[in-house]
Amino acid sequence: MARPSLGACHPIVVYTVGMDTLYDGLKTPILEALEKFQSIETASLHVPGHKAGRGLASEFAKYAMPLARIDATELPGLDDLHHPQGVIKEAEQLAAMAWGSDVAFFLVNGSTVGNLAAVMAVVNAGDTVIIGRDAHQSVWHALELARAKVVVVLPRHLGPLIGAIDAVDIEAAIHAYPEATAVVITSPTYHGIVPDLTSMVNLAHTNGMKVIVDEAHGAHLAFHPDLPLSAVSAKADLVVQSTHKMTAAFTQTALLHVCGNCVDVETVRHYLQVFQTSSPSYLMLASIDAARAQLAVEGQFLIGTMLDILREGRKRLNDTFPGLINDGWEGLMSDPFKWTLWSLEWGVTGEQLANAFMQSGIFIELYDEEHVLLVWSYANSTRDMEKVIRVIQQVFHGRSRIAHADLESSWSNEIPRYSTVLPFDTSKKNKHIASLEDLPGKRAACAITLYPPGIPLLLPGESYTTNMIQYIKKCLAFGLRVDGLANAKEGRAWFLSE
Ligand SMILES: Cc1ncc(COP(=O)(O)O)c(C=O)c1O
């Protein structure tokens, strides 16, 4: 199969498969079928009940029309997500070609459902799975459902919430747990760090283990040579991507790619049927289809244009405020579309900076006491960059850099480099509630997760420490969302009776 010259700014991109099948990258099979459908239907006697938008409440219709006209369902010519034979099949094939995988599944419940299905498709009850502690909660939930034994590898770089795992640690875990059947890696991390995927995949494959990469934040990587390596190119077996995060598809859309032949495609399809709705939104499916065509045809141009803006903006800020924006991440690859602003090092809390942005109408991805995370995409512009620079110049004018305040390390240094846990549901019978102050020394009954980024601070069975409790209280005082507490307002949490 020949890949298109990626992103060539040319109206027609042709993929060749075998000797004679031609695919037009500009084609959007699902969208085209919906356009045709809405042009011929004269009366709707099927679900959905809004009947092509005519029944929508007027306050909603003013936003939802004309999209409601293509909010269709499995009707003649529109195919079926769970048994695709027509336009959805064609659109999924085009997606596989665009990203370079062998099979692509369209998802309508985000990378969350991709992670659930991917893990369930390769992990049997009791299997050992090696996983980075930076994994999103959907991966932990999947491992809970799969009833896996989990070997947790601590990110070597920059702490569990921001850092990425290192190939050296994956190698050590593989040697320590040769019975493991799969390795799950997050790449890029929420903050855009891309670990050495190629080494990790090779190590896992050499030892007979399958590799799932949660690439929720990396759907764009395949479309520009200046971006870090994508997980499909690194030859992971299953790759999950949110098309709504870093590319321009609707919220909740995602892809699950199968690469190579180590994973049974029909088992993946089965679990997607288990976890996904039987009434998938055609708005979402069409939006994945259209985003794929956009990326295939002009992705390199769009991404390249924004990369230039990002480089220029970063340079201007680095000249005035060196070190404010993350730079280099300890030598690891990173995604230039993610900016971490280490504001506390300049005497400004993340919350203060987030508020300053908000006062200018700029809403950011996340903040904590130390930093703010900005997520750019190729849909941003020079105008957005100028607005961001203006706020940063106002907030940091006249300030200088002070000692690095690494709040996370107070508790993360206490976490072992490897640990084995049974995720989440160890605790249905013997869990009790106590005030956070009374918990040091006791074991957590369920995961405690800071959201965003949705990465657990504490896993079930791990002991509460004084530093961890202080960190949780700090996050709560900061108004951050901490999931898994029995009562966040009263500062109470679950623990396991021994
Ligand atoms: C690393 C990672 N994986 C998976 C997810 C879930 O993605 P989605 O929101 O598309 O379900 C997220 C969400 O933030 C994430 O950060």
Q: What's the pLDDT tens digit per position in 330-357?
A: 778 999 999 999 999 999 999 999 999 9
Locate 262 and state its tokens.
């180590």
Q: Rounded to a whole number, what is the largest CA-CA distance in the chain?
A: 70
Whole-angstrom Cα distance, residue 219 to residue 242? 6
Local confidence band at 368 (pLDDT 50, 70, 90 cut-offs): confident
Position 123: which residue type?
V
pLDDT at 212: 98
Which residue, judged by its Cα, is nearest atom 1 of ligand 1? 136
Fold of 85-292: Aspartate Aminotransferase; domain 2 (3.40.640)
Q: How many angstroms separate the alpha carbon of residue 465 from the centre of ligand 1? A: 28
pLDDT at 4: 38
pLDDT at 17: 45
pLDDT at 5: 39
Q: Which helix (H) or strand (E) holds 340?
A: strand 338-341
For ligand 1, residues with CB inside 6 Å are 110-112, 136, 138, 186, 190, 214, 216-217, 242, 254, 453-454
Orientation of helix 350-359 relative to helix 382-396, angle to 10°? 130
Average confidence (pLDDT) over 76-98: 97
Tell me the DSSP string of 144-160. HHHT-EEEEE--SSSHH
Average confidence (pLDDT) over 254-261: 98
Domain residue spans in the chain?
85-292, 298-396, 424-496
Q: 290-294: long-range contacts (C-beta < 8 A, 24 or more apart)? A: 290/28, 290/31, 290/249, 291/243, 291/247, 291/248, 291/249, 291/253, 292/28, 292/91, 292/94, 292/95, 292/98, 293/25, 293/26, 293/27, 293/28, 293/94, 294/248
Position 18: which residue type?
G
Q: Out of 141-145, 312-316, 387-391, 404-408, pick the least confident.
A: 404-408
Q: How many angstroms separate the alpha carbon of residue 136 from the centre of ligand 1? A: 6
pLDDT at residue 168 greater than cutoff 60: yes
Question: What torsion, rounded to 10 degrees, do the Cα atoms 354, 491, 419, 230 define?
Answer: -30
Tell me the DSSP string of 272-314. HHHHS-SS--HHHHHHHHHHHHHHHHHHHHHHHHHHHHHHHHH
Locate 51 and state its tokens.
């009947």
Q: pLDDT tens, 101-115?
A: 999 999 999 999 999
pLDDT at 447: 86
Phi-psi category of 51—alpha, beta or left, where left has phi over 0 and alpha has psi -120 to 50? left
Local confidence band at 119 (pLDDT 50, 70, 90 cut-offs): very high
pLDDT at 22: 52
Locate 69 and state its tokens.
């006209």
pLDDT at residue 29 greater than cutoff 70: yes
pLDDT at residue 140 greater than cutoff 50: yes
Q: pLDDT tens, 120-133?
A: 999 999 999 999 98
Q: pLDDT tens, 445-458?
A: 888 888 888 788 88
Residue 422: how many other CB atoms lie within 10 Å: 16
Question: What torsion, rounded to 10 degrees, do the Cα atoms 280, 286, 292, 297 define?
Answer: 170
Non-local (6+) Cβ contacts of 100 within 8 A are 3, 222, 230, 232, 233
Local confidence band at 8 (pLDDT 50, 70, 90 cut-offs): very low
Whole-angstrom Cα distance, residue 102 to residue 92? 10
Local confidence band at 498 (pLDDT 50, 70, 90 cut-offs): confident
Looking from the CA of residue 109, the nearest atom of ligand 1 is: 11
Q: How many angstroms separate the alpha carbon of residue 166 from the centre of ligand 1? A: 21
pLDDT at 451: 84
238 beta partners: 212, 258
**Owner of token pair 């918990």:** 439
Q: Which helix (H) or strand (E) holds 482?
A: strand 481-483
Q: How many angstroms separate the alpha carbon of residue 326 from the centre of ligand 1? A: 22
Average confidence (pLDDT) over 298-326: 95
Q: Out of 76-85, 207-216, 276-285, 438-447, pick the least confident.
A: 438-447
* CB-based contact 227:220 (threshold 8 Å): yes
pLDDT at 456: 82
pLDDT at residue 485 greater than cutoff 50: yes
Q: Report the relative pairing of strands 182-186 and 210-214 from DSSP bridges.
A: parallel
Position 40: which residue type?
I
Q: How many angstroms separate the alpha carbon of residue 369 from the centre of ligand 1? A: 22
Q: How many angstroms separate the alpha carbon of residue 340 from the centre of ligand 1? A: 18
Looking from the CA of residue 214, the nearest atom of ligand 1 is: 3
Pocket test for ligand 1, best of 162, 190, 242 (most atoms within 8 A of CB): 242
* CB-based contact 246:378 (threshold 8 Å): no
Position 269: which residue type?
R
Claim: this prediction has a pTM higher than 0.85? yes
pLDDT at 129: 96
pLDDT at residue 66 greater than cutoff 50: yes
**What CATH class has 298-396?**
alpha beta
Question: To the nearest whole number, what is the mean pLDDT of the chain?
Answer: 90
pLDDT at 57: 98
Domain 424-496 coded CATH 3.40.50.300: no
Q: How many angstroms separate the alpha carbon of residue 111 from the centre of ligand 1? A: 5
Put the strands of the sheet holding 481-483 in their side by side order.
455-458, 448-451, 481-483
pLDDT at residue 305 greater than cutoff 50: yes
pLDDT at 325: 93
Q: Out of 3-12, 99-108, 408-417, pick the least confident.
A: 3-12
Looking from the CA of residue 253, the nearest atom of ligand 1 is: 10
Average confidence (pLDDT) over 123-146: 93
Non-local (6+) Cβ contacts of 412 within 8 A are 154, 159, 160
* CB-based contact 195:187 (threshold 8 Å): yes
